[in-house]
Amino acid sequence: MGSLFDRRVISGLLLLDKPKGPTSHDAVLWARRVLNTADVGHCGSLDPMATGLILLVVGETRSKQNQFMAERKTYRGVIRLGLATTTDDLDGAPLPGSFPRKPADLSAAEIEKALGSFRGPVSQEVPTYSAVKWKGKPLYHWARKGVPVERPVKEVVVHFLEMTGYTPPDVEFFVDCSKGFYVRSLARDLGASLNVGGTLAALTRESIGAYRRSDAYPWQDRAPLQKDLFEKSFVPIEKLPD
């Protein structure tokens, strides 16, 4: 059939719905393999423990990579109170020590009040395990070596933040945020503000700009390619905004 697979070189934007486990780079490698081109990049990574929307730029569309990376993003997730970890999510090791309070002591109203300080323009310290560089190497490189570094502080914007449920010790939330926002830092900082500790337990990216997870290809690294679903999730460069 006539399709993007018949072309030797393609250019466009591919929406992928990443499952838990693979890295964003795994998604890039998969796309390079199925499209038979090395000219593929992603527009903002998701940690292996996270799921949801990844945008891949293919061919000439790579010139628009920074444009897509600058878009607002929305997430749904779960913050687990009463626990702090080295990576600010459940993939990390628990940090030693105890906290003055317990999740069961907190009311939903108290958590909602604390969330108020994380809305609007905020200064956010990046996680210890992140790709932000110090002395030419990412912070996770130094963290794995046990070298203490001063974590950079970023100015970000939280356009909307809502608690959607609370079943101790887990806080369910939805957030609409700017480029550069770390949801893991939100989990860590919310726990600290409540004197109870916090770490990210689950995360799904729902949208990047105008692009939605519901329109994305349900990617599984080793599963056979479903060409009809793939083509519905691929936006040719001529249909992309300037």
Q: How far apart are CA 146 and CA 142, in angstroms?
A: 6
Whether 34 and 115 share a structural domain: no
* CA distance linking residue 68 with residue 222, whole number of Å: 27
Residues contacting 10, CB < 8 A, separation 6+: 4, 35, 37, 58, 59, 236
What's the gap between Cα 40 and its chain centre? 19
Is the same domain home to 64 and 21? Answer: yes
Domain check: are 17 and 57 in the same one? Answer: yes
Residues 50 and 84 in one domain: no
With contact defined as beta carbons under 8 Å apart, do 222 and 114 qualify?
no
Q: What is the CATH number of the domain that holds 11?
A: 3.30.2350.10
Q: Decide: helix, strand or coil at residue 2.
A: coil
Residues 84 and 128 in one domain: yes
Q: Are residues 216 and 201 in the same domain?
A: no
In this structure, the dihedral spanned by the alpha carbons of residues 73, 203, 88 and 46, taken in order and rounded to 10 degrees, is: -60
Q: For the chain, count helices (H), then strands (E).
A: 6, 13
Say whether both 65 and 141 belong to one domain: no
Same domain? 59 vs 112: no
- Together in a domain, 221 and 123: no
Its domain, for residue 174, covers 75-206
The residues that bridge with 18 in the sheet, in sequence order, are 52
DSSP, collapsed to helix, strand or coil, labels residue 45 as: coil
How many domains is the chain partitioned into structurally?
2
Amino acid of residue 2: G
Burial of 191 (0-12, 13-18, 19+ CB in 10 A): buried
Residue ranges in the chain assigned as alpha helix (H): 24-35, 65-69, 108-115, 139-145, 183-193, 227-232
Same domain (yes/no): 128, 111: yes
Q: What is the pLDDT along the chain (242 residues), one digit of tens a residue?
A: 344 555 556 899 999 999 999 999 999 999 999 888 999 999 988 989 999 999 999 999 999 999 999 999 999 999 999 999 999 999 989 998 889 999 999 999 999 999 999 999 999 988 776 666 666 666 666 667 576 777 778 899 999 999 999 999 999 999 999 999 999 999 999 999 999 999 999 999 999 999 999 999 999 988 888 999 999 999 999 999 88
Query: What pLDDT was estimated at residue 5?
Result: 55
237 vs 240: CA distance, rounded Å: 5
Token couple for 165: 């449920």
Q: Which of 20, 22, 60 is nearest to 40 (CA)?
A: 60
Closest CA to 221 of 63, 2, 52, 16: 16
Residues labelled catalytic: 47
pTM recorded for the entire structure: 0.91
DSSP states along 212-223: EGGGSEE--TTS
Omega of the bond leading into 169 within 30 degrees of 0 (cis):
yes
Phi, psi (degrees; rounded to nearest 5) at 153? -110, 130
In this prediction, residue 151 carries a pLDDT of 75
- Taking the C-alpha atoms of residue 160 and residue 40, their distance in angstroms, rounded to an integer, is 32
Q: What is the pLDDT of residue 2?
A: 40
**Residue 199 and residue 97 in one domain:** yes
Are 45 and 164 found together in one domain? no
